[in-house]
Amino acid sequence: MIASARQRARRAVRRLSLTESQAQELRRSLRHERLQLGAAQGRLAECRRQLRQALAVPVPESPLVLELALEERLLVERERAVSAQIERSLAALLRPEQAVRLRALPPAAVSDLLGRICA
């Protein structure tokens, strides 16, 4: 985690006023979903690499490019769906006032917060 991500995560933890017991419960509850998100992000990165490679040739193979572009779109949607599920699960484990503050955080801060909690 880079310095700015660590700072965002620390600010998010402070803003949410997470207790240590809440952080432990979140770690246990979100571990599976974080693994799903990591897998989705890995597949998306690989698909994008393959798409760049397919487009780098002088005469790109249209069916391959189309297939990879469609796969990329589906993987982006999957990544968003998993991220939204994680955020819903996280909000469900928080007190109501913490859940409101969670929804006010920018997406990058939520991602950093999850990385810090689940690390």
49-73: pLDDT as tens digits:
999 999 999 999 999 999 999 999 9
Tell me the pLDDT tens digit for each residue of 104-116.
Answer: 888 777 777 777 7
Please tell me the predicted confidence (pLDDT) of residue 2: 61
Quote the domain boundaries for residue 16.
3-118
The residue type of 114 is L
Please tell me the predicted confidence (pLDDT) of residue 52: 96
Instruction: Give me the number of domains the chain comprises.
Output: 1
Average pLDDT, the chain: 84
Structure pTM? 0.74
Report whether 2 contacts 10 (CB < 8 A).
no
24 C-beta neighbours (distance < 10 Å), count: 12
Evaluate the CA torsion angle 10, 88, 111, 8 in order and state its sign. negative
Taking CA atoms, 6 is separated from 87, 95, 117, in Å, by 19, 24, 11
Q: How far, in whole angstroms, is CA 53 from its chain's centroid?
A: 25
